A and B are shown apart, each in its own frame.
Chain A
């Protein structure tokens, strides 16, 4: 299965700074989702953006979607050491909201206290 690309592959910042991660995908999507994974753990759903939406906010998270460029970005503002984790975008290209997800390669975020 094809996978999207995320950049950067790794990001290291100081606490309080903003972190931006980008994701590109290849197909037409129903929605695109962002997940967080702490080392050796399962994934936690962060935010979902539908194909007809351009921007979405949830707490310190801001997600944008550009369907013409097939890209999305996740911004974490005022980062904390506890935000250290891997972040994945996942495209749902199915005809329904609950289709199978194809994950990007992920960005490893390290936030230094």
Chain B
């Protein structure tokens, strides 16, 4: 079945450094990728929508210069958290529509980011 491979699954970084998270669609083309963040025991909050070959669309309140999104190909979208701070610690998940019958979406397995 359709898979979105997300890496890394977890990362610990120092304050001020940048972290890149990759999501690759396997066996299907992801022209669109949604990026979410999730705090413990909370729901998913949409951060941005990326489309292959164009600029990402960010949700209100999400800093586009801090969360850089690149969607350079039909199978790869990346999220870079720049100059990370402890408050950026969260669970980040990507999702691509399609790849499944009946219009379901395929989610990556998530990345646990801890900034120390």
- Provide the bound-state CA to CA distance between A3 and B36, in Å: 14
Q: Which residues of B come within 8 Å of A, CB atoms?
A: 4, 6, 32, 34, 41-46, 49, 59-60, 91, 93, 95, 97-98, 100, 102-110, 112
Total interface residues on A, using CB and 8 Å? 23
Q: Is A26 an interface residue (CB 8 A)?
A: no
Pairwise interchain contact B107-A43, C-beta atoms closer than 8 A: yes
Pairwise interchain contact A33-B44, C-beta atoms closer than 8 A: no
Pairwise interchain contact A101-B105, C-beta atoms closer than 8 A: yes
By beta carbon, the residue of chain A nearest B32 is: A98
Pairwise interchain contact B107-A44, C-beta atoms closer than 8 A: yes
Q: Is A113 an interface residue (CB 8 A)?
A: no
For A101, the chain B residues whose CB sits under 8 A away are 34, 46, 95, 105
Interface positions of A from 86 to 112, Cβ below 8 Å from B: 88, 97-98, 100-106, 108
Set B34, B103, B110: member contacting A100, Cβ < 8 A: B34
Pairwise interchain contact B105-A33, C-beta atoms closer than 8 A: yes
- How close is A27's CB to chain B, nearest CB, in angstroms? 14
Set B42, B60, B93: member contacting A43, Cβ < 8 A: B93
